[in-house]
Structure 1
Amino acid sequence: MFTTLNAQSALGLIVIVAVCWLLSEDRKRFPWRLALGAVAVQSTLVLALFAIPGSERLLSAISGAVAGLAAATSRGTQFVFGYLAGGDQPYAVTNDGALFTFAFQVLPLILVISALSALLWHWKILKWITLGFGLLFQRTMGLGGASALAVAANIFLGMIESPIVIRAYLDKLTRSELFLMMTVGLSTVAGSTMVAYAAILSPVMLNAAGHVLVASIIAAPAGVLLARVIVPETPGQGGAHADYDSALKYDSAIDAIVKGTSDGLMVVLNISAVLIVFVSLVALTNLMMGGLWLFDGPVTVERLLGWVFMPVAWLTGVEWAEAGKAGWLLGVKLTLTEFVAFIELGGIPVGDISDRTRMLMTYALCGFANIGSVGIMVTGLSVLMPDRRQEVLSLIWKALFAGFLATLMAASVVGLMPDAIFG
């Protein structure tokens, strides 16, 4: 049954595409077929995982895998950090909740998943899965081989690792293809952080792992569409060929584990540094605005973000009564990274917001489109393609905008679906 909330999501979908069309470099070349194909691919992927008979078994398997990874990581973390990581406590515990420490319970998971991802890539398991998605995007959305492979890689790898997969083709990408790669990189998340987000949400959300996985997958075609709308491909250009070879290689299984761990460590350090700096800057801003008072409370960055993004959250299909809190989460994601936003979402007790709002925000937050990622992407791409650094700089803020909207589009597509299919 089509409800008012479904209609909100439909309106949000239209508004998102319309805004990107207004910013298009060539409004006469709107990709109608791509628009229909992107929405169809997103809807099909959502229905395939949540609506087909037996899908609950797959969701249960995904959730079990995440729980197993978290438990195994906990053993390794406790071996190194002891009681600080939740091991046997040397004193009486009166508040079990206080034992959770982000540095010891979440960040180590990124190290393990990064090493495991590298190993699966070396064994060609992750590589063939990526190629499968690449063929899907190539056939349904008309992407060139290199672009399709980069888009597929972004679902499982990071926004810097995925360009390495097509490193041999980076100099052949057109401006539109480069923008597409950047946008999709900011629209999705890496497999290592994906598992961490699922672990954060699992205590308060049913099938959290399945939702986070689908969120990163369906944000990819959304990013493709919005990138093509803003920077259309010139007819006769693009379509750089990509074969089954890749610049991302490891010499052995041990080499994959070691290099994967090293790469994961850099991700952990970047996340830690960005969180410390941005959370501190927000706290400093709140202190500076401490004397300001508006309506029934002091003016804070969090309240301002809630007001600004309130209508944006409503357009995804969130009830107006909860749009303020949802808008605040979107603002936190943009300014403080999606990691902080997921922690805040996971910290909202069951019953304080509806299951629908929590689900839609999971999709809307699941992407690297935040201010901190701008510096990371510019730095990484400048190393991989130094001759095109100025081109990257000219496109980065557009890519951030499109990537942010792509996650909102993913939430809107999910909001169009009947709530009953999610259980």
Structure 2
Amino acid sequence: MFSLLSLQSLLGLAVIVGVCWLLSENRTAFPWRLTLGAVLVQAALVLMVFGLPGADHVLGAITGAVDGLDQATQAGTQFIFGYLVGTGPQPYETTTDSIFVFAFRVLPLILVISALSALLWHWRVLKWLIRGFGFLFQRTMGLGGASALAVAANIFLGMIESPIVIRAYLDKLTRSELFLLMVVGLATVAGSTMVAYATILGGVLPNAAGHVLVASIISAPAGVALARILIPEREAQSGVAADYDSGLKYDSSIDAIVKGTADGLMVVLNISAVLIVFVALVALVNIMIGWIIVGGDPLTLERMLGWMFTPVAWLSGVPWSEAGQAGWLLGVKLTQTEFKAFIELGNIPAGDMSERTRMLMTYALCGFANVGSVGITVTGLSVLVPDRREEVLGMVWKALFAGFLATLMSASIVGAMPASVF
């Protein structure tokens, strides 16, 4: 049954759309059809995955696949790093029963999934999945062919890999379409990172793998809607048509595995570098303001952002008693990436946070919308379409804002669902 918390989530959805409309470049051109289509697509996907008969078996299969990938990855990782991995037989006794080292438990998953994704692309499995979602977005939200294809690609590929799929059309995209591409890239995550997030949350959130997968899928239409509200398409400017013969190609299955692994290595290095730098910068800020005592504890950047995002978390459907902790997680995501936020969410004991709040935060955190990704977006698009670099720079912070809100919109959609769905 619907509850007051469901109505609270609906209020949050209305506030998100309203704020974007107030900041729109053209308030008279509100995309009613697209926004309604995005909300309906999100709700339909959530109901389809979690509400249909037999959904438990599907979710169980997804969880089993994630567990299998994790076990297989740990076998390869332990061969290289031995006891540092913390799983399986150890060469000598360790002082703890379960060692969790991010570099050895999470990052290697990205290498494996990146190689597997390249292989599935070469075998045309991913191409057909992307084509199906592209057709769905064209029909339900009226996107142009190139935009629909890029949005669909963002569900499974990264925010730089997906523009490569439509590289031949980037210089032909309108300003609104280019902005849409940036927003969706920041609102979603790559397939290579989904499994890592599910692994982090597996011990504290039932069906974690299913929730992470759905979170990335439904944030794509949310990003589309908010992007079009902020920068509407002008009249007489139609979307660029695109075929599905992408420039992303591999010569053979072995070539796909090798190049996919190399691409995954670049992602791993980038994630590691961004985490080191931004965790260090936040720590530096905390050292500088730590002399200020508030409520008996030193002031930190995370606490300040937590206070700022407390009402935001509440609007997504989180009970007020847990909104402070949820707001703190949103602040961690914005400043230190969603990886750090997911780790903090996974470290919260099951009894210290309700399952509803943990589930909603999984959706709210599942996106690349953080400060570090701004640089990645600018760098990647500057390489792919250098003539539009100034245009990208002029829109990137607005894209970060829209991408951050898109994941909150997804959380609000889920929060508005009857509890019986899950």
Scaled to the shorter chain, the TM-score interval is: over 0.9
- What whole-Å deviation, never above 9, does each CA across 1:86-105 have from its counterpart, x for those lacking one? 243233334223x1110001
Matches within 5 A, 1:101-116: 101-116=101-116
- What whole-Å deviation, never above 9, does each CA across 1:319-361 have from its counterpart, x for those lacking one? 0000000000000000000000000001111110000000000
RMSD of equivalent CA atoms: 0.8
- 2:237 and 2:303 map into 1 onto residues whose CA distance is 46
Where 2:232 maps in the other structure, the secondary structure is: coil
- 1:188 and 1:276 map into 2 onto residues whose CA distance is 22
Contact 1:173 1:238 in 2 (8 A): no
State the shift of 1:392 in Å.
0.5
- What whole-Å deviation, never above 9, does each CA across 1:39-73 have from its counterpart, x for those lacking one? 10000000000000001110000000000000000
- What whole-Å deviation, never above 9, does each CA across 1:117-176 have from its counterpart, x for those lacking one? 000000000110010000000000000000000000000000000000001111110000
- Give the equivalent residue in structure 2 for 1:341: 341
- Give the equivalent residue in structure 1 for 2:96: 95
- Give the equivalent residue in structure 2 for 1:237: 237
- What whole-Å deviation, never above 9, does each CA across 1:258-309 have from its counterpart, x for those lacking one? 1100110000000001111111111121112221101232211221121111
- Give the equivalent residue in structure 2 for 1:200: 200
- What whole-Å deviation, never above 9, does each CA across 1:178-215 have from its counterpart, x for those lacking one? 00000000000000001100010001110000000000
1:410 partner letter? S
- Give the equivalent residue in structure 1 for 2:144: 144
Contact 1:9 1:416 in 2 (8 A): yes
- Give the equivalent residue in structure 1 for 2:350: 350
- 1:12 and 1:139 map into 2 onto residues whose CA distance is 27
2:126 partner letter? L
1:255 partner letter? D
1:27 partner letter? R
- Give the equivalent residue in structure 2 for 1:80: 80
- Give the equivalent residue in structure 2 for 1:251: 251
2:185 partner letter? G
Where 1:287 maps in the other structure, the secondary structure is: helix
How much identity, in percent, do the aligned residues show? Answer: 75
- What whole-Å deviation, never above 9, does each CA across 1:391-414 have from its counterpart, x for those lacking one? 000110010000000000000000
1:52 partner letter? L
- 1:419 and 1:3 map into 2 onto residues whose CA distance is 8
Contact 2:2 2:419 in 1 (8 A): no
Contact 1:227 1:399 in 2 (8 A): yes
- 1:148 and 1:289 map into 2 onto residues whose CA distance is 46
Matches within 5 A, 1:121-136: 121-136=121-136
2:399 partner letter? A
Contact 1:9 1:317 in 2 (8 A): yes
- 2:93 and 2:254 map into 1 onto residues whose CA distance is 41
1:85 partner letter? V
Where 2:333 maps in the other structure, the secondary structure is: helix
- 2:315 and 2:133 map into 1 onto residues whose CA distance is 29
- Give the equivalent residue in structure 1 for 2:406: 406
- 1:267 and 1:227 map into 2 onto residues whose CA distance is 26
1:155 partner letter? I
State the shift of 1:244 in Å.
1.9
Deviates more, 1:290-299 or 1:385-394: 290-299
Where 2:390 maps in the other structure, the secondary structure is: helix
- Give the equivalent residue in structure 1 for 2:290: 290
- 2:197 and 2:319 map into 1 onto residues whose CA distance is 24
Contact 1:145 1:240 in 2 (8 A): yes
- 1:419 and 1:340 map into 2 onto residues whose CA distance is 28
- Give the equivalent residue in structure 1 for 2:372: 372
State the shift of 1:84 in Å.
1.2
Where 2:387 maps in the other structure, the secondary structure is: helix
2:292 partner letter? L
2:90 partner letter? Q
- Give the equivalent residue in structure 1 for 2:394: 394
**For this pair of structures, how many residues does the alignment match?**
421
Where 1:286 maps in the other structure, the secondary structure is: helix
- 2:273 and 2:382 map into 1 onto residues whose CA distance is 21
Contact 1:222 1:410 in 2 (8 A): yes
Contact 2:73 2:108 in 1 (8 A): yes
State the shift of 1:34 in Å.
1.1
Unaligned runs of 5+ in 2: none
- Give the equivalent residue in structure 1 for 2:28: 28
- 1:96 and 1:23 map into 2 onto residues whose CA distance is 52
1:419 partner letter? A
State the shift of 1:238 in Å.
2.6
- 2:93 and 2:81 map into 1 onto residues whose CA distance is 18
Name the TM-score, length of structure 1 as normaliser.
0.98
- 1:400 and 1:283 map into 2 onto residues whose CA distance is 23
Contact 1:274 1:372 in 2 (8 A): yes
- 1:21 and 1:214 map into 2 onto residues whose CA distance is 26
- Give the equivalent residue in structure 1 for 2:70: 70
